[in-house]
Amino acid sequence: MRNAADRLKFIKPQEPVLVETPPVSDDWLHEIKYDGFRTQVILDWAGARAFTRTGIDWSKRYWPIVTAAEQLKAKSFILDGEVIAPEPDGRPNFQAIHSRMAWNAELLAFVAFDIIHMNGEDLRQLPTIERKAILWDLVKPAEGIIQYSQHVEGGGAAVFEAAEKMGLEGIVSKRQGSPYRSGAKDEAWVKTKCWDMADLDLIGIKRKAGQRTEGLFAREGKYVGKAVIAATDVIKDRLWKRVQKAKAGPPDGVPTAEVTADVEWVRPGIKASVRTLRGERKLRHASVQDIREE
C-alpha cells in the first residue's frame, strides 16, 4: 500500500532576475508578468494539491483550482504558475485575491507557465520552449480556472511596450533553450517591470554625507517606503529649509528600523510625484520626480 512518503514533493521554483530593459534577441520568449501569488500545482496518485512559493499547502484555499487540476488527462504532474483574480477582460486584480480566497474561490484562476514533471518524468532539463509545448498539450484549451500563459518569441521591446500600455505589471523573458533551474535566480529568466507615478506625502528626509538623499513617504497616512530625491542642489536646499521649519516626530506606523538619527521628520503639507515599479506593495527602485507644497 502506498503512503504519504510516496507522493510527489514540492520543488523550489526558479526565480527571474530583475532587469531594466527586456532582451531583444530572437532566442528569448516573453510572457506577461501576472500580479498574483506564485503557485505550484501537483497531481499524483493521491490527488492534486496547491503550494505557495515557499512550499506551504494552500489546497483548501484554492480548492476549485485543485479540483480542475484533477480533471486534466495525466497520471501525475508538477505545474508552475500564478494564481490570479482575473477581471472580465482577463487582467489580474491583486486587491481581489484575498476576498475571493475567502468567499469566491471559484473566481480565481491558475495561469500555468511551466511544467517540470509529468507522468513520472522529470522535465527540468528540457528546453523551455519544449516544456511549454508539453504544458499546452496538457492544459489546452486552457480556459476558465486553469489557463495557459501565452508567449511571444523575440521582440521583447514591443511586448514590454504593449504591457505598459495595457497597465500590466511587466513581462518575464526566458531563454527558449534553457533548462528549469529550481531554487535558483538565473539570468535565463529575467523580469522587466513597468513604472507607475504615485502622488505621495513626504513625511521625512534621510540624508547622510556621501550617501544619496532619500525621502520617506506615506499614502493616506500609511508608510510606503523610501525614494531617492534626484533633484538639483538648489531644489534640495529649498526643500531642506522647508523641512527645518516644519520639523516633527516620526508618524505612527513607520517601521522601527526606519526611525534613525539621520532622518528629519516633516509635518504634513509636502507632496511628491514618485516614480516606482508597478505592482509592488512598497516603493521599489523609486525616485522623486517633483516636489510641491500644498
C-alpha 123/C-alpha 197 separation (Å) is 41
Dihedral sign of CA atoms 130, 132, 133, 135 in order: positive
Q: Are strands 270-277 and 287-293 parallel, antiparallel or unpaired?
A: antiparallel
Could you confirm whether 208 is annotated as catalytic? no
For residue 216, CA distances in Å to 51, 259, 290 come to: 35, 10, 14
Given the residues 9, 33, 132, 191, the one annotated as active site: 33
C-alpha 178/C-alpha 114 separation (Å) is 12
Q: Which residue has the cell 511587466?
A: 170
- 18 forms bridges with which residues in the sheet? 191
Residues 6+ apart with CB under 8 A from 111: 34, 36, 81, 82, 83, 84, 147, 148, 149
User: Which of the residues are catalytic?
Assistant: 33
